[in-house]
Amino acid sequence: MCGIVGYVGQRDVVSVLLKGLTNLEYRGYDSAGIALQDSGDIKVYKSLGKLINLKNELEQRRAEIKQPIAGIGHIRWATHGSPSLVNAHPHSCTCGKLVVVHNGIIENYKELREELSKKGCEFRSQTDTETIAHLVADEYSKTKNLELAVRNSVKKLQGAYAVCVMHKDVPNLIIGARKHAPMLVGVGEGENFIASDTPAIIEYTKRTIYLEDNEIAVVTKDTVKVTDIEGNVVTKKVETLPWEPMALSKLGYKHFMLKEIHEQPDVIRNVLNGKLYDIDEPIALNEVKLDSEILKKLNKIEIIACGTSLHAALVGKYIIEDFAGISVEVEASSEYIYRKTTTDASTLVIGVSQSGETADTITAIKQAKAKGSHVLIITNRPDSNMARLADSLIPVNAGIEVSVAATKSYIAQVISFYLLAMHLAEIKGSIDKSYLKNLKHELIQLPTKIEEVLSNTTTIQECARKFSSYKNFIYIARGVNLASAFEGALKLKEISYINATGYAAGELKHGPIAMLDETMPVLSILIPGGITYEKVLSNSEEAKARNAKLIALTSSNDKNIDVLFDVVLRIPQVSEILSPAITCVPLQLLAYYIAEFLGKDVDQPRNLAKSVTVE
């Protein structure tokens, strides 16, 4: 979603802002803009579409850009008002002396707009953000103190904001404020940065100060002052970012998605590192901060998440119930937050999120905490809002994920669920010890098996070419791989815009079978040795009888499969219960190659944002 970067210091301000915005590009956006402050003026430059258009605009107007000393930049993902030049940020007050960029949604912007219009403010856009520009300018006209003006203004805002403000009359200064939207300060030597997320600043500094809700940062090139909303100075810790700038490079891969798919074996090794090192030792999951006596008696878990994280949660449900015998409910955060739930103090609530910033999941977690539940967060961003709300935190350590389509973060979440389920089962004594040892052994072998899949993708690429012209797909599976079918279909939808739906194979006969004919390929996930193999096989035959083209994803070497299916995607032998941690890989690759073959914007699919920070 939207991204913010601000800079004050000696470097070339335009380059710093453009680099910062480029590093946030992966979040998804439809327009971009920057405001540059030189010793006498503030100028705004905007463009529609990708950042290259903004770069071209700046290039054309290079002559008028003097020596900027500070600047703020923004990429916008439209919420209020269509994607257009006039709605792109930065927004200015009526006289143009004050500029703002903003992430989030101001809920009371209509009332404020009406009030400010009556005072003579001239509104030019349809955005909620422009209200902030006029509001702060109005407060500034009363106090002539920009910091106070920002404080007084944010007190009047309802909703979510990470906002940066600059004023022509107060050069060399950027003020940032946040509530329910992330914002941080990057600390440098004789220069400072402000941003909505760490990739924006990582090229320049790893030293960061995270703002909390209702905090305001006053940033010059030499100083950073953080206050609460009343103006009391808050002492903040300077933290060091764990990422390297390298994480933002494609390292020779055509797309970040392909690079991230290939990183998965190492991601699994990372997740297992220190937690599962010997099959004879219990899982070391010290991150779960609940007393083992409480865990022993635990009989209800609720998992809340969105999108791909929701699919990881479905795998989690299956294996926690299977290994530990604890009843688990999984719900989309957006549904959870608008109903009367039965969550109580004895429920363990697990929030799953790659970004740790998904608005619906944050709201759901806050609701669960208000009911007294212990909240465990599984996230790839230990520096996120969600992580800060956690009573227990499992960081999945997948490394920064740039492609909008989640891949390596999914596998890291799934593996974290295996560790959690085994940990709970060990505490409860609910699983056969030698069975568990075998599973641990297999888990350790998984990265090598995935490397095998990644080392030969010829069949997957041929399959992608063969099926790329189809407009609809059905993915079927049963049991623990049902989540894999959902996830595989989601991957295809989001990056190729092809309609794909995952179904429980047994449900095919209850409706979806009506759609089957030669135009609707069916992809079946078949893992032999488990309880569902024969069933999915016969469901696939039913599809064949309706002329559907069939794709198998299987570890079976059965020759009959080659006869029944049009294409067979083979994976190494794996037990059914662990197979979601490997079936996801060819499904990601299939989606990738189809999208790539169709020439789609794989890393930044249309209409999507990497982190959905508004409801």
Query: Considering beta carbons, is residue 48 or 332 the nearer one to ligand M6R?
Result: 332
Query: Considering beta carbons, is residue 31 or 354 the nearer one to ligand M6R?
Result: 354
For ligand M6R (CB under 6 A), the number of binding residues is 16
Pick from 474, 445, 13: nearest CA to 221: 13
What count of residues does the chain have?
615
Residues 564-583 that bind ligand M6R (CB under 6 A): none
Pairing of strands 174-179, 215-219: antiparallel
CB of 405 to ligand M6R, least distance (A): 4
Query: Considering beta carbons, is residue 130 or 401 the nearer one to ligand M6R?
Result: 401
DSSP 90: P
DSSP 587: H
Query: Considering beta carbons, is residue 127 or 385 the nearer one to ligand M6R?
Result: 385
CB of 278 to ligand M6R, least distance (A): 31
CB of 328 to ligand M6R, least distance (A): 18
- CA atoms within 13 Å, Cβ hemisphere of 553: 28
Residues 183-222 that bind ligand M6R (CB under 6 A): none
Q: Contact letters (x/-) for ligand M6R, 437-476, by CB under 6 A? A: ----------------------------------------
CB of 599 to ligand M6R, least distance (A): 20
List, by residue number, the catalytic residues.
2, 610
395 binds ligand M6R (CB under 6 A): no
CB of 416 to ligand M6R, least distance (A): 13
CB of 400 to ligand M6R, least distance (A): 12
Residues 11-50 that bind ligand M6R (CB under 6 A): none
Residues 351, 348: Cα–Cα separation, whole Å: 10
**Tokens encoding 57:** 């605009």
Query: Considering beta carbons, is residue 78 or 86 the nearer one to ligand M6R?
Result: 78
End-to-end CA distance of the chain: 12
Neighbours of 151 (CB within 10 A): 22
- CA atoms within 13 Å, Cβ hemisphere of 242: 10
**Tokens encoding 614:** 């508004």
Residues 229, 224: Cα–Cα separation, whole Å: 16
**Tokens encoding 52:** 């290259």
Residues 275-314 that bind ligand M6R (CB under 6 A): 306-309
Q: Contact letters (x/-) for ligand M6R, 526-565, by CB under 6 A? A: ----------------------------------------
Peptide bond into 83 cis (omega under 30): no
Residue nearest ligand M6R, CB atom distance: 307
Pick from 202, 171, 216: nearest CA to 70: 171
CB of 314 to ligand M6R, least distance (A): 13
**The only residue of 192, 270, 353, 579 in contact with ligand M6R, by rule CB under 6 A:** 353
Pairing of strands 300-305, 327-332: parallel
Residues 384, 394: Cα–Cα separation, whole Å: 12
Residues 595, 27: Cα–Cα separation, whole Å: 19
Residues 46-65 that bind ligand M6R (CB under 6 A): none
**Tokens encoding 115:** 């009030």
> Cβ-count burial of 214 within 10 angstroms (0-12 exposed, 13-18 middle, 19+ buried)?
middle
Query: Considering beta carbons, is residue 90 or 104 the nearer one to ligand M6R?
Result: 104
Query: Considering beta carbons, is residue 295 or 608 the nearer one to ligand M6R?
Result: 608
CB of 549 to ligand M6R, least distance (A): 26
CB of 592 to ligand M6R, least distance (A): 12
Interacting span for ligand M6R (CB under 6 A) from 191-199, 430-438, 534-542, 606-614: 606-614
Query: Considering beta carbons, is residue 72 or 310 the nearer one to ligand M6R?
Result: 310
List, in order, residues 6 or more apart from 599 with CB less than 8 Å away. none
**The only residue of 127, 334, 361, 604 in contact with ligand M6R, by rule CB under 6 A:** 361
Q: At what angle do helices 307-324 and 408-428 cross, to 10 degrees?
A: 20
Interacting span for ligand M6R (CB under 6 A) from 351-359, 443-451, 471-479, 536-544: 351-359
Contact indicator for 410, 490 with CB cutoff of 8 Å: no
CB of 584 to ligand M6R, least distance (A): 11
Residues 450, 327: Cα–Cα separation, whole Å: 31
**The only residue of 92, 103, 131, 355 in contact with ligand M6R, by rule CB under 6 A:** 355
354 binds ligand M6R (CB under 6 A): yes
CB of 72 to ligand M6R, least distance (A): 25
Q: Write the DSSP string, 375-392.
A: EEEEES-TTSHHHHH-SE
Q: Contact letters (x/-) for ligand M6R, 475-494, by CB under 6 A? A: -------------------x
1 binds ligand M6R (CB under 6 A): no
Query: Considering beta carbons, is residue 23 or 152 the nearer one to ligand M6R?
Result: 23
**Tokens encoding 428:** 């409860």
**The only residue of 208, 358, 363, 416 in contact with ligand M6R, by rule CB under 6 A:** 358
User: The sheet that has 91-92: what strands, in order across it?
Assistant: 91-92, 98-103, 161-167, 174-179, 215-219, 224-227
Q: Write the DSSP string, 398-418.
A: -----SSS--HHHHHHHHHHH
Q: Residues 317, 320, 321, 322: what is their CA dihedral angle, to the nearest 10 degrees?
A: 120
Residues 399-438 that bind ligand M6R (CB under 6 A): 404-406
Query: Considering beta carbons, is residue 543 or 591 the nearer one to ligand M6R?
Result: 591
- CA atoms within 13 Å, Cβ hemisphere of 349: 31
Query: Considering beta carbons, is residue 48 or 608 the nearer one to ligand M6R?
Result: 608
Q: What does the binding site for ligand M6R look like in residue numbers (CB under 6 A)?
A: 306-309, 353-355, 358, 361, 404-406, 494, 608, 611-612
